[in-house]
Amino acid sequence: MFLLFDIGGTNMRIAVSTDGQTISNSKIVPTPKEFDQGILDFKQVADELSKGEKIEGIAGGVAGPIDKEKTCLVKSPNIPGWINKPLKTELEKAFNCKVILENDTTVGGIGEAVAGAGKGSKIVAYIALGSGVGGKRVVDGKVPEDSFNFEPGHQIIVPFGDLCKCGGKGHMEPYVSGAYFEKKLGQKGENIIDQKIWDEITRYLAIGLVNATVFWTPDIIVLGGSVSKSIPLEKVNSYLKEFLTIYPTAPQVVLGALGHDAGFYGALELLK
Ligand SMILES: [Zn+2]
């Protein structure tokens, strides 16, 4: 039996897979603010889901950048109590098996690339639109080594433009993320009905996707994250076609197919 997880700033999702291919059962619980409690809750949910069966391997993602050795979270605005805490080691101790830890966007991107909307495409650009913006380039189901994390949300799309929470100006994140909608427009993405606002948002997003395309050359662009469902896809595709003049065709922009389960399928792939 395999254990899969997706630890977010608000919730922890934990699942078991008996065959290493499909999800057998899963549960969502709030992410405790303190790390020690987090490990206790994780163990309790895992024991409940596995019904005491031996765990052969564990894999999953955590929200935020992790250290180079992939053992712990190094930065997080939502769960600061987990920063630099030995997540991988504690799980290895608790379950006495191999543990693979990754950044949650990496795991979600791999999941969509191998089992979701990117299935069948060699190079997938995964862009996660949530309260922030993240993304990964996935090639043949794997995220290539990088010196730094890919940060498509922090590419400059407007010279000297709006202030980003990272301190930079004109980055994509303050133009297309959930936090921006709430801060500047006072409403969540799903509540915006003004087509003029959507037109502006999709234009900025398309500029970011043009850049992602010329640097990443994806066969397909998969949008994930909570905000993605509100985005008018036709508009994004049409602007991308209009702006991306160097290629005869633009990659198709599609919605992720797995929702919150993307992380579980990505974790299964990591265990293979
Ligand atoms: Zn930024």
Q: What distance in angstroms lies between residue 73's CA and the mean position of ligand 1's atoms? A: 20
Whole-number pLDDT of residue 191:
85
Whole-number pLDDT of residue 189:
81
CATH of 117-256, one of 3.30.43.10, 3.30.420.40, 1.10.10.10, 3.30.390.10: 3.30.420.40
Q: What is the pLDDT of the chain when averaged over all its residues?
A: 95
pLDDT digits (tens, 9 = 90+) for 222-235: 999 988 999 999 99
Which string of DSSP letters, residue by residue, matches 188-254?
-GGG---HHHHHHHHHHHHHHHHHHHHHH--SEEEEESTTGGGS-HHHHHHHHHHH--SSSSPPEEE
* Three-state secondary structure call for residue 13: strand
Whole-number pLDDT of residue 256:
98
pLDDT of 45 over the 90 cut:
yes
Q: What is the mean pLDDT of residues 242-253?
A: 97
Q: Which tokens in the block code for residue 211?
A: 């850049």
CATH of 2-103, one of 3.30.70.3340, 3.30.420.40, 3.60.15.10, 3.40.50.720: 3.30.420.40
pLDDT of 142 over the 90 cut:
yes
Q: What distance in angstroms lies between residue 50's CA and the mean position of ligand 1's atoms? A: 41
- Percent of the chain's residues with pLDDT above 90: 83
pLDDT digits (tens, 9 = 90+) for 208-218: 999 999 999 99
Q: What distance in angstroms lies between residue 167's CA and the mean position of ligand 1's atoms? A: 6
Per-residue pLDDT band for 192 (boundaries 50, 70, 90) equals confident
Q: What distance in angstroms lies between residue 27's CA and the mean position of ligand 1's atoms? A: 33
Q: What is the mean pLDDT of residues 196-204?
A: 95
CA count, 13 A, side-chain hemisphere, 179: 11
Q: What is the mean pLDDT of residues 85-110?
A: 97
Domain pair 2-103 / 117-256, same fold: yes
One-letter-per-residue 3-state SS of 24-57? CEEEEEECCCCHHHHHHHHHHHHHHHHCCCCCCE
Q: What distance in angstroms lies between residue 171's CA and the mean position of ligand 1's atoms? A: 5
Rounded Cα distance, 227 and 29, in Å: 22
Q: What distance in angstroms lies between residue 149's CA and the mean position of ligand 1's atoms? A: 13
Q: What distance in angstroms lies between residue 169's CA and the mean position of ligand 1's atoms? A: 7
Q: What distance in angstroms lies between residue 154's CA and the mean position of ligand 1's atoms? A: 4
Whole-number pLDDT of residue 35:
97
pLDDT of 11 over the 80 cut:
yes
Q: What is the mean pLDDT of residues 53-60?
A: 97
Q: What distance in angstroms lies between residue 190's CA and the mean position of ligand 1's atoms? A: 23
pLDDT of 241 over the 80 cut:
yes
Domain range summary for the chain, segments of one domain joined by +: 2-103, 117-256
Residues with CB under 5 A from ligand 1 (ion): 154, 164, 166, 168, 171
pLDDT of 124 over the 80 cut:
yes
